[in-house]
């Protein structure tokens, strides 16, 4: 039997990295696990832990994309 099932994941808007360990049934679970794993969800963008930082004044710094 062939069964089709959709899964959700997250992709960094800066470097294009996909979180291979985050395939889940709902978008809400992916959002929760991503933020718990250090990903930043900012407006309609997602950034992996390697692509963002905060300066000494807590200003968001996004690294240049590829």
Q: Say what the pLDDT of residue 7 is.
A: 93
pLDDT given for residue 65 in this prediction: 62
Q: Range of 50's domain?
A: 1-66
What digits encode the pLDDT tens for the residues 15-36? 999 988 889 999 999 999 999 9
pLDDT range class, residue 66, cuts 50, 70, 90: low
Going through 6-66 in order, the beta strands assigned E by DSSP cover: 40-42, 45-47, 52-54, 60-62
| Cross-strand bridge partners of residue 60 | 54
Number of domains in the chain: 1
Residue with tokens 């979180």: 19
Q: Look up residue 51 and give its DSSP letter.
A: S
Mean pLDDT throughout 44-51? 96
What does the block give as tokens for 61? 């710094």
Residue 43 — left, alpha, or beta (φ > 0 → left; ψ -120 to 50 → alpha)? left
């Amino acid at each position: 039997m062939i069964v089709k099932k959709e899964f959700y994941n997250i992709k960094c808007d800066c470097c294009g990295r996909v979180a291979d360990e985050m395939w889940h049934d709902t978008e809400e679970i992916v959002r929760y696990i991503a933020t718990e794993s250090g990903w930043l969800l900012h407006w309609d963008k997602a950034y992996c832990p390697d692509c963002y930082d905060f300066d000494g004044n807590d200003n968001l710094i996004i690294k240049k994309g590829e």
